[in-house]
Structure 1
């Protein structure tokens, strides 16, 4: 059991810290909407992981393996969403600092919107689905109890939540505020381009 948990933990941590759509989305929302926006995105990502956990525990991973068209649908939906968010970031008009601060103060962005972005980004990511399929068919043993599998799932979700929360906190730290403010617009464009690129790569990837 200890060796199994160690394997799950190491694979999960390496997967979580690897830059991808979740990372780009957290960076984007943290830069655009401050710490709360970034933290809500991180929470949404963790809840998006719970979707993968649920169908894995219910045995639907085998359904996905036998019906690859379901993964294809997930791929196109997820890719289209990333492309849309990326384009919005790239072509968004620059706002002055007072207007941005005013919008954040009155909550015009909406914490629920940040949460939904994080949730959709992860829940529709076919690579996350493939990660769970591989993990629970190759690493987690068939005789592993349901309670232990649930524990593994909760660990994976918490790892996502903690890591991306740390990313949001780091990007909005007071000591970095001056530096981030100077390059904020450029970073937003870069993260937008990354989301667009990831979406297009996913959209046209054959494999």
Structure 2
């Protein structure tokens, strides 16, 4: 079978999915505004690696088990919502720096790379919408006759493309031209991300409850 037509379809679908606002976008924006480029890039790499997690269980069939086992999928949804609520409460409590010296001190308190990386990985890894996206991709878009090696290539591409997209976003958000503004007003963006993360968490919980009650 032809490799390129299927690959182009996957690349296009993935591009629209990764560019749409969601938990991944929110966490990268928060780290970029709050802690700077390095932390945002580590979070981006964590998100990219988590894509391989979704690809792996889709390839070996675990994804189907998750989707067809209601309590397991609901547990994943609740865990994701709880983690987003945890991130949201931290963002919502962000205070405005009182002085320029306070800004400088805050910028020195950048979290370790592994912490930003794990935040990105967990945010994407626990995202049930990402689970459904990759299940649909491998069940509908990718043909059953597609060789396993091609599917691995697709997965590696999506992981790399995701990481590169959010790394690019990290660079744009921490460009020197907007750096001064973000340092002074970044706490408003942080609070906005807190609201977004909170809304995403509530949406997950409501969808989980709706599916449980059959509404």
Per the TM superposition, whether the score is higher than 0.5 is yes
Residue segments in structure 1 that go unaligned for 5+ positions in a row: none
Tell me what 1:97 maps to: 103
Q: Deviations over 1:172-207 (max 9, x none)?
A: 111111222232111111011111111111111235
Distance 2:133 2:148 in 1: 19
Q: For 1:142-157, list aligned pairs within 5 A.
A: 142-157=144-159
- Alignment counterpart, residue 50 of structure 1, candidates 49, 52, 57: 52
Secondary structure (helix, strand or coil) at the match of 1:144 reads: coil
Runs of 4+ in 1 over 4 A off after TM superposition: none
Alignment: residue pair count: 203
Tell me what 2:192 maps to: 190
Q: Which range moved further: 113-122 or 46-55?
A: 46-55
Q: For 1:65-144, list aligned pairs within 5 A.
A: 65-95=67-97, 96-104=102-110, 109-144=111-146
Say whether residues 1:25 and 2:31 are aligned partners.
no
Distance 2:87 2:142 in 1: 35
Distance 1:100 1:69 in 2: 42
CA RMSD of aligned residues (A): 1.3
